[in-house]
Amino acid sequence: MKIGLVGYQGSGKSTLFQWLVGRKPEPDGKQVAQATAPIPEPRVEALCEIYHPKKVTYASLEIVDTPGLSRDQTGNVSRLGYLRETDYLVCVVPVFDGSDVKKEMDAFLEEMVFADLEIATNRLEKVREQQKRHLPKDQLDKLAVEEAILQKIKTGLEEGHPVKADEMTAEEYKATRSFRFLTEKNRMILVNTGDDETDHASYEKFSTGDVPVRAVSVGLEVELAQMAPEERREFLDEMGIPSTSREKFIRMLMDFSGQMVFLTAGEKEVRTWLMRKNGTAIEAAGCIHTDFIKKFIRAEVVACDDLVRLGSEREVKAQGLNHREHKDYVVQEGDVLLFHISQ
């Protein structure tokens, strides 16, 4: 799962990157930097007490820092291009410099619409060129579908509407998904406040149905992360300012981007895995190994909380809390799974 950090120059993306992954991006700051942020899972420790595994592995998010957008728009389309391969966007909006949140959010959306419009327009021109050639009918039919959907997307973007995959037919989606439109990506807005901001919650009212808004003083959090816990507590009490832990923020990103954690546990390894919410047992099996999809027989399922509460698999079984499931079982957050596969 790749999370792209995006925003205007100096909005605090690289500071956010540092907070999330624990190191600064490359020195010149202009290039794309990528690093992993392990997803904290407090229940892993309790599982280790049960299994004493040789190895512990945490699922992680890939954090991608991108070059800042220019206010005069020059070069922004290519800067935004770095985000095409990402799955979820965190748009960093600075207010520590006195900017207006709503204005910043609108300006930013406009940049993304503009970048998508350029992609759609360029591709449309190419498609129309190809349509003039003498091509086999099936190819012409395909081009006709692409032309129609691109025209619809272009008109929508010109009116400021984001690209919406769920409004397309399967055929239209297939024809356009490789463009990875930015406005189609799920995203959140991170309002980067000044160090002395005490009312972070008030920014949440800018959230809209599918775009949550959260405020964090990113610069301050980086400093806090370097303090000893006691020192940090004293500082926060004295200043009366709120703080979000890095762990909480990473889990929130996982949640906002539609992902959840499931676990596997044994004496060899206790491990967390990332999968989409409401995904099925066969998808979970595929996360572990693509081979498991073909060879899947069934999954043994135990809720991690039951396992931790009762202290052993034997006790869970004695109480009848384990269950066997087929490939279409909807995995629940925190399930501990064991897959039976054919040889």
Ligand X SMILES: Nc1nc2c(ncn2[C@@H]2O[C@H](COP(=O)(O)OP(=O)(O)OP(=O)(O)O)[C@@H](O)[C@H]2O)c(=O)[nH]1
Which option in ligand X, Mg ion, none does residue 66 bind, with CB closer than 5 to 8 A by kind? none
Counting contacts by CB under 6 A, is residue 15 touching ligand X? yes
Secondary structure (3-state) at 22: coil
Secondary structure (3-state) at 242: coil
Binding track over 95-124 against ligand X, x by CB under 6 A = -x----------------------------
Q: Which is nearer to ligand X, 146 or 221 (CB)?
A: 221
Q: What's at 74, amino acid-wise?
A: T
Counting contacts by CB under 5 A, is residue 29 touching Mg ion? yes
23 DSSP assignment: S
DSSP 56-67: EE--EEEEEE-P
Which option in Mg ion, ligand X, none does residue 4 bind, with CB closer than 5 to 8 A by kind? none
Q: How far is the CB of 15 from ligand X (least distance, A)?
A: 3
Q: Classify residue 272 by burial, with Cβ atoms within 10 Å: 0-12, 13-18, 19+.
A: buried
Stretch that binds ligand X, among 115-123, 200-208, 212-220, 301-309 (CB under 6 A): 212-220
Other Cβ atoms within 10 Å of 226 Cβ, number: 9
Counting contacts by CB under 6 A, is residue 76 touching ligand X? no
Counting contacts by CB under 6 A, is residue 194 touching ligand X? yes
Counting contacts by CB under 6 A, is residue 214 touching ligand X? no
Counting contacts by CB under 6 A, is residue 38 touching ligand X? no
Q: Give residue number: closest CB to Mg ion.
A: 14
The whole-angstrom distance between residue 9's C-alpha and the CA centroid of its chain comes to 22
Ranges within 41-100 binding Mg ion (CB under 5 A): none
Q: How far is the CB of 248 from ligand X (least distance, A)?
A: 17
H or E element, residue 33: strand 33-38
Q: Which is nearer to ligand X, 89 or 281 (CB)?
A: 89
End-to-end CA distance of the chain: 30
Q: How far is the CB of 168 from ligand X (least distance, A)?
A: 33
The contacts of residue 28 (CB under 8 Å, 6+ apart) are none
Q: What are residue 262's DSSP bridge partners? A: 273
Q: How far is the CB of 7 from ligand X (least distance, A)?
A: 6
159 DSSP assignment: T
Q: Which is nearer to ligand X, 115 or 218 (CB)?
A: 218
Q: How far is the CB of 8 from ligand X (least distance, A)?
A: 7
The contacts of residue 211 (CB under 8 Å, 6+ apart) are 187, 188, 189
Q: Which is nearer to Mg ion, 145 or 225 (CB)?
A: 225
User: Pairing state of beta strands 335-341 and 323-325?
Assistant: unpaired
Radius of gyration of the chain (CA): 23
Stretch that binds Mg ion, among 7-15, 48-56, 164-172, 219-227 (CB under 5 A): 7-15
The residue ranges that bind Mg ion (CB under 5 A) are 13-14, 29
The residue ranges that bind ligand X (CB under 6 A) are 7, 9-15, 29, 67-68, 96, 192, 194-195, 217-219
